[in-house]
Amino acid sequence: MIVRILSLSALWTLSLGTTASAQDMAAMYAQGFKLDAELKARSAPIMPTLRWQREVTFAEALPVKEGKSTTSLALDLLHPADSTIKPRPLVLFVHGGGWASGNRSMGEGFLPLFAGGGAVAGTLSYRLSRDAPYPAALQDVAAALAWIRTNADSLGVDPDRIAIWGHSAGAQLAIHTAVFDPERAQGIRCAVGVAGPYNLLLEENKSMFGEMMVRNFLRDPVDPMGTGQGAEDAIRARAQEASPVNHLDDSDPPLLLIQGGKDTLCATAQARDMAAAAMEAGLEVHLGFYPEIGHVPTDPDVFRTISRFMDRHLGTSCSAFFDSIWPVEQVVAASAAQDTKE
């Protein structure tokens, strides 16, 4: 069944490039806020039974602003109602924002969908490209996972049942973490990328994602404009290293890639080519290509797809919970009503 997805915050679309028109961006904002409100309303009845664990620091004194200052990074975790059942699987979200903007609160709205299905659901902070150069963001995601594994007992988390997922730039960070290095990927049972760039060598992939944002992510702070001798070769080498498509092998966890056909910020070839490469490497990979959705897709049924994928690999009941708050019949009825209206 072809389905679509949510937008939990219009911030997901910030700093991703200039390939989308102002009208496109305005539509994404409006659709995103509408579905965000709907998801929160549908999850509201279960919220009193869940337990927040906010501002859980996993890294301190990390350099930013070219070493002129430091920062700390934290997680927000939402725990299921029955805290006596331990350990629980973890579903961890990595926010987007072109690597240059955004924060972990972007993922807060949908955490109840996974906590309601029996997982500990979390969202994390990482250093943004404007504050710390590549590979800082990737190191931060890896550090969060390492800290969680070390502190799994106190968190009530099963360190061997982790799912990581992200949107846009967060999808690149999540999928790269899952496939780049077996040590970083310890405990990751599956990974999901939504509207992500997986090959950062843009001219070879004909991506619409926004070369400016990629170059800013991969910039050399000593030569931020990339005009020095050998700068182009250096940025290409970093782009190759940062591209998950270049690090696949048959030991990697199962992947789910979600891509919209009307995405004006991230080329549809990104997910298609990544899925083809994963298949060639012998991986379990699922490609959800939805012709009618954009970079910030807004149909709730994509969560049904994601939650079923999580259930299969984590042993959760996320899809049953999602079905209970947003039945398939309501989605079908809404779609039929829209078709009639048009």
d(CA 198, CA 5): 20
Mean pLDDT confidence for 50-79: 95
Phi, psi of 62 (to 5 degrees): -85, 135
d(CA 188, CA 177): 9
Number of domains composing the chain: 1
d(CA 13, CA 11): 5
* Sequence-ordered list of residues with C-beta below 8 angstroms from that of 324, at least 6 positions apart, any chain: none
End-to-end Cα, the chain, rounded Å: 22
Whether 216 is in a domain gets the answer yes
* DSSP letter, residue 184: T
Please give the full DSSP string across 107-120, using - where no structure is assigned: GGGGHHHHHTTT-E
pLDDT tens, 179-193? 999 999 999 999 999
Q: Sorting pLDDT into bands at 50, 70 and 90, what band is 328?
A: confident
d(CA 189, CA 166): 15
Whether 107 is in a domain gets the answer yes
Q: Which residue has the higher pLDDT, 26 or 55?
A: 55
Residue of 252, 295, 245, 306 whose CA lies nearest to 275: 245
Whether 3 is in a domain gets the answer no
Q: Sorting pLDDT into bands at 50, 70 and 90, what band is 40?
A: confident
Please give the full DSSP string across 85-106, using - where no structure is assigned: S-SEEEEEEE--STTTS--GGG
Whether 68 is in a domain gets the answer yes
The whole-number pLDDT of residue 201 equals: 85
The whole-number pLDDT of residue 266 equals: 87
pLDDT at 10 exceeding the cut of 50: no
Would you say 178 and 252 are in contact if contact means Cβ atoms under 8 Å apart? Answer: yes
Give the structural domain span for 317: 10-341
Whether 133 is in a domain gets the answer yes
Please tell me the least confidently modeled range out of 105-119, 264-278, 327-341: 327-341
Mean pLDDT confidence for 22-50: 78
The whole-number pLDDT of residue 14 equals: 31
- Treating both helix axes as pointing N-terminal to C-terminal, what angle do 136-150 and 169-179 enclose, rounded to 10 degrees? 60
Q: What is the 3-state composition of the chain as percent helix, strand, coil, each rounded to the nearest 5?
A: 45, 20, 35
pLDDT at 19 exceeding the cut of 90: no
CATH assignment of the domain containing 307: 3.40.50.1820
Please tell me the least confidently modeled range out of 108-112, 145-149, 171-175, 219-223: 219-223
Would you say 121 and 67 are in contact if contact means Cβ atoms under 8 Å apart? Answer: no
pLDDT at 3 exceeding the cut of 50: no
d(CA 166, CA 196): 8
The whole-number pLDDT of residue 28 equals: 63
d(CA 110, CA 43): 8
Q: Sorting pLDDT into bands at 50, 70 and 90, what band is 197?
A: very high
**Average pLDDT of the chain, as a whole number:** 85
* 3-class DSSP assignment, residue 284: coil
Whether 119 is in a domain gets the answer yes
Q: Which amino acid would we find at residue 155?
A: L
Enter the tokens of residue 283.
């991986």
